[in-house]
Structure 1
Amino acid sequence: MAEGVGMLAGVAIDAVLADPRRGHPVALFGTAAAGVEKRVYGDDRARGVLHVALCVVPVALLGHVATRSGNPVVRAALSAAATWAVVGGTTLGREGAAMAGFLENGDLTGARGRLPHLCGRDPSGLGESGLARATVESIAENTSDAVVAPLFWGAVAGVPGLLAYRAVNTLDAMVGHRNARYERFGWAAARLDDVANFVPARITGLLAVLGAPLVGGSARRAAAVLRRDGHRHPSPNAGRCEAAFAGALDLTLGGVNVYGTRVEHRPEMGDGPGPSVADIRRAVRLARAVGLGAAALAVLAVLRRR
C-alpha cells in the first residue's frame, strides 16, 4: 500500500514540479557513471559489462536498503521521491510544447537549438516538417522511456526497480551508440536497455491505441498500424511506440534521419501525411494520456499485490 501511494504521489509531484533544473539525481548518476567509464573503459564487450554492473548494481542495492524501513510513511516518502526522480513526463510535454511554440512563431533557429533536448538528431538541415517529425517521433519513444518503463519497473520491483531502470536507460543514452568508441563497450548497456524496455514499449503502444480517440484518431486504425508497422523499425521497442502514435494521430512517421556523420533510412510507418506543427501538440496530449494510463496501471498493480 505504501509503495503504491508513494508512486502516485511521485507522479503528482512530477506533474507540478517537473524535473529540477539543477542537481537532478539522474544527472548526478551520469557524472558518476562517466567517472567509472574513465577507469574501466576498454574496446571490448567484457569491459562494457563491467561498467554496467558497477553502475547499476549499487543503485539497485541502494534502493533496496533505503526501503527496508518498517514505517509505511517512510516507505511511501521514498517511493514518491524515487518516482519523481526517474519519471520525466512533464518535462517531455514541456519540451514538446516549446518546440511547437518555436515552429508556430516561424522561429526555425530556436526550434533547431531546442531539438537536442529531445533527441540526438542533427537539426541543422531540418526545416519545419523535419523538425515536426523529429519532435513527434521523440515524444512517442520517450513516452515509453521516460514514463511507462520506469512506472512498469516500479510496479514490478519497487524503488530498486525504479532506480535500476533509470540507471540502465541513462547508460544506454551515454554509451549505447554505434560508433568507433562504443560499438563494443556500449553493447551491454544497449542490449540491457532493449530488454528493460521490451514490455513497457508494448504497453505504450497499446495505451496509445486506446488513447487515439482523445486526439481525434481511431483506435481501430491505430491498432492496425501498430500491428502492421511496429516491427519494421530497427529498434525492437521504439517501433512499437512510433507506429502506435502514427496510427493514433493518423500520420506517417519514419524516413531519413541524420545523426552527425551517420545517415539512417527508417521505414515509414502509418498511412497519413507527415507531421505538421499542429500535430506536435496532439502528440503531447496523447503522451500525457498514455502516461496517466500507465500510472493508473502501475499503482493498481502495486495495490493488488499487497
Structure 2
Amino acid sequence: MSDNRSLWPPGHFDISYEFFPPKTPEMEAQLWDSIARLAPLKPKFVSVTYGAGGSTRERTHNIVARLAAETDILPAAHLTCVSAAREEIDEIVRDYRNAGVRHIVALRGDPPTGVGTKFEPHPRGYRSSTELVRGIRAIGDFEISVSTYPEGHPESRTIDDDLDALEAKIDAGATRAITQFFFENDVYFRFLDKARARGIKIPIVPGIMPVQNFKQTANFARKAGASVPDWLAHRFEGLDDDPVTRRLIAAAVAAEQVLGLAENGVREFHFYTNNRADLVFAICHLLGVRPVTEKAAA
C-alpha cells in the first residue's frame, strides 16, 4: 500500500458525526461540549439518534431543532418505523421540515424488546425503511440517508439480500448510505465493489466506531452483525482496569483504520462519537481536517 498522505489537500474530506440524546443533565452538558468541540471542523452534517419505540423522540427533536436554530451545523434527524402509525411519523417529518431540518436518517429501527427479536410493524405504520423513505420523499425535498451493512444485516441471508434492500431504498428516494461500523477495511471495499458492480452510485459512507469500551462495543457488534477480529480483541486484552491505556489503544486503532481508508481513496467518513469528541477530533486532525479558525490564522 502506497503512502499518499502527502498528496491530500488540507481538509479534503467530508466528515459527519452521530450523537445520541442524553439521559441526565451531566450527559447533556457533555453532549453540547462535544458538539462545540467538533463544530469548528465544519462537518457536512451531524445526526441525532432515535430510541427504540420512539423512547427518545422528544429529546431527539429538541436537540435537532436547537442545532438548526442556534448553530450553523446542518442537523440530520434519525427516524424509525417502530411503534408508530404512518400519520404520526408523517407529522414528525412535517415538524422537522417546519424547524428547518432538511436531512433525515431513515431506518426501520430495532424492536423495543431489543436487537435480535422479531420486528413487528405497527398495524397502521410503515413496514420497512423503504416504505419510510418513500413516505418522507412524498412530504418534502429532504436529503435522506439510510443504513447499509457490509457484513450483512442480522436478518439477511446473504450480502445480496442487503444490496437488494439498499437498491429498494434508493429507488424510493434515498440519497446516501451510511454503513454499520466495521473493523477491517477489506470488508468495506468488498461491499463497495459489489454495490458499484450493481450500478449503485450514491455515496456509501463508512461508519467508523472509535472503541471507547471494548467489551461494550464487542457485545453490540455481535448483535448488529459486525465481526470483531481476533487481532482487535488481542489489542485490548488485559486493559479492563486501565482506562488510560485503553484510550490510547482506541485512538491508535481508529487512526490506523481511517488513514488506511483514506490512502485507498475514501474521502467521506461518518463517526459514531458516543457523545465524546476527543478521539474523533484527533483522527480528523490526522486527516488534515482542522478548525476553520486555525486555518484562517495560519
Q: Does the TM-score normalized on the shorter chain lie above 0.5?
A: no
Q: Of Structure 1 and Structure 2, which has the larger fraction of its residues in strand? A: 2
User: TM (normalized to structure 1)?
Assistant: 0.25
User: TM (normalized to structure 2)?
Assistant: 0.26
